[in-house]
Amino acid sequence: MAGLQPTMEMVELFAHQLPDVKEFAILLEKFEDLARVDGQYFLCNFHTQKLIANTIELIPMTIPERFIFVTGPINTSDQRIMKNVQKFAMLHSQGRPCNISKVVTLPEKVPHNDEMLGDLESVHRTLMLYLWLSYKFSDTFVDVDLAREMKLRCETIIHEALQKLKTSRRRPRITTSVPIRIKKLGLN
C-alpha cells in the first residue's frame, strides 16, 4: 500500500470544476471525499493541509500559491510557526520581500530549560520553512544566505542546549556499597 497526494495541477483542475467553492480547506475536503484510488493505494489525509489553509484563508493568493503553502514543512501544533506562515503568506501576496531577520531572532544565550529549548526548536522550524519557501518563491524569500547561516547557528545552539540539559539531568551514581548477607539454607 502506498499513499498518494494530489499534484498542484490536479487540485487546480478540480477547483475549476467547483467554481462555487471559495475556501481552499473546503476544496481539499471535497477532493478528499470525491477522489477514488486503486486498491493498492490510499489518498493521504489532508488534515494538516486543511489547518494551514484555514490559517491563510483570508490572504489573497492563487490556488497554486495556496497549494505550495499548505504543503510546506509546517508543524501545525507549533503556534509560532502558524503565525509565521501567516506573515510569510501575507508578504508574498503583497509582493513584498520577506527579510528573515525581521521574523526570527536567535537567542544570545544557550537555553537552560525545556521551554526555552522548545522556543528555539520553533525558530528552527521557521527557518526551515523560510528556506523551503525560498525554493518556490525566490522573489519573496530573498534572505537565503542569512537564513542558512541562522539555521546552522540555531542547530549549534540546540546541540549545546541539549548537551547542557543532558548534563544537568544526570543523576548522581550511588557509590557506597551495601553489604548483602546471604544466608545458607540447610537442606535436611
Per residue in 131-144, pLDDT tens? Answer: 999 999 999 999 99
> What is the C-alpha to C-alpha distance for residues 158 and 100, in angstroms, rounded to an integer?
19
pTM for the structure as a whole: 0.83
Per-residue CA distances from 137 to 31, 36, 69, 88, 170 (Å) = 26, 32, 10, 11, 46
- 172: pLDDT strictly greater than 60: no
Phi, psi of 135 (to 5 degrees): -75, -25
Closest to 124 (Cα-Cα) out of 159, 96, 173, 92:
159
Closest to 96 (Cα-Cα) out of 143, 139, 144:
139
Residue of higher predicted confidence among 136 and 183: 136
What confidence score (pLDDT) does residue 84 get? 97
Domains of the chain: 1-71 (1.20.272.40), 97-168 (1.20.58.1080)
What confidence score (pLDDT) does residue 1 get? 82
